């Protein structure tokens, strides 16, 4: 049996070089993979600026008074922010409740104007003996978790 002398064998150097090459290729592949993974999502914040019922006066905040039972058109100004209080552009803001439905997309300033009741089928309805109705707000934007508030707006009879 004849033993090979590794000191004089030129193929012995190939193994460490192959390991280094495979390590470098693996690191490049890992870096490429990490670069295509999307960034983590952030939370949205939504503020209700004001509410206008029918052609009445504008009421600041998220609570508005209605005159009695019946069907109402509702106009809501809302603003959408990210966690750093920067406005979020192109967020979809939806309001539903009381039989009404409205949707708008935010401007570059994060503002959305949502109209409920533009058609007869989308008006907010308060029935006799119903003191209040709550409107649900949902805001969605790419790169953010959906914002949802079941009781974002309260409309009540005096």
CATH code of the domain covering residue 89: 2.60.40
> Cα separation of 118 and 133, whole Å?
18
What is the separation of C-alpha 70 from the centre of its chain, rounded to a whole number of angstroms? Answer: 33
When pLDDT is cut at 50, 70 and 90, the band that residue 8 belongs to is: low
In a domain, 109, yes or no: yes
Asked if pLDDT for residue 5 goes beyond 80, the answer is no
Boundaries of domain holding 136? 45-157
Mean pLDDT of the chain, nearest integer: 89
Number of domain units in the chain: 1
Record the pTM: 0.73
Give the mean model confidence (pLDDT) for residues 45-69.
93
In a domain, 133, yes or no: yes
In a domain, 63, yes or no: yes
In a domain, 71, yes or no: yes
In a domain, 19, yes or no: no
Q: How confident is the model at residue 36, as a pLDDT?
A: 86
Nearest to 70 by CA among 6, 127, 110: 127
In a domain, 29, yes or no: no
> What one-character DSSP code corresponds to residue 44?
-
When pLDDT is cut at 50, 70 and 90, the band that residue 158 belongs to is: confident
pLDDT tens-digit profile of 76-126? Answer: 999 999 999 999 999 999 999 999 999 999 999 999 999 998 877 889 999
In a domain, 137, yes or no: yes
Helix (H, G, I), strand (E, B) or coil at 35: helix
In a domain, 26, yes or no: no
For the chain, give percent helix, strand, coil, nearest 5: 20, 45, 35
């Amino acid at each position: 049996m004849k033993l090979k002398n590794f000191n004089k064998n030129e193929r012995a150097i190939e193994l460490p070089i192959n390991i280094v090459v495979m390590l470098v290729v693996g690191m490049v592949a890992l870096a490429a993979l990490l670069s295509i993974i999307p960034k983590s999502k952030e939370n949205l914040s939504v503020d209700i600026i004001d509410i206008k019922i029918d052609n009445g006066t504008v009421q600041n905040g998220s609570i508005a008074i209605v005159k009695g039972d019946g069907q109402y058109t509702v106009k809501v100004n809302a603003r959408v922010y990210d966690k750093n209080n920067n406005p979020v552009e192109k967020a979809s803001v939806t309001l539903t409740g009381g039989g009404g439905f409205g949707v708008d997309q935010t401007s570059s300033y994060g503002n959305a104007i949502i109209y409920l009741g533009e058609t007869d089928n989308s008006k907010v309805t308060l029935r006799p003996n119903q003191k209040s109705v709550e409107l649900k707000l949902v805001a969605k934007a790419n790169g953010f978790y959906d914002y949802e508030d079941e009781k974002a707006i309260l409309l009540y009879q005096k």
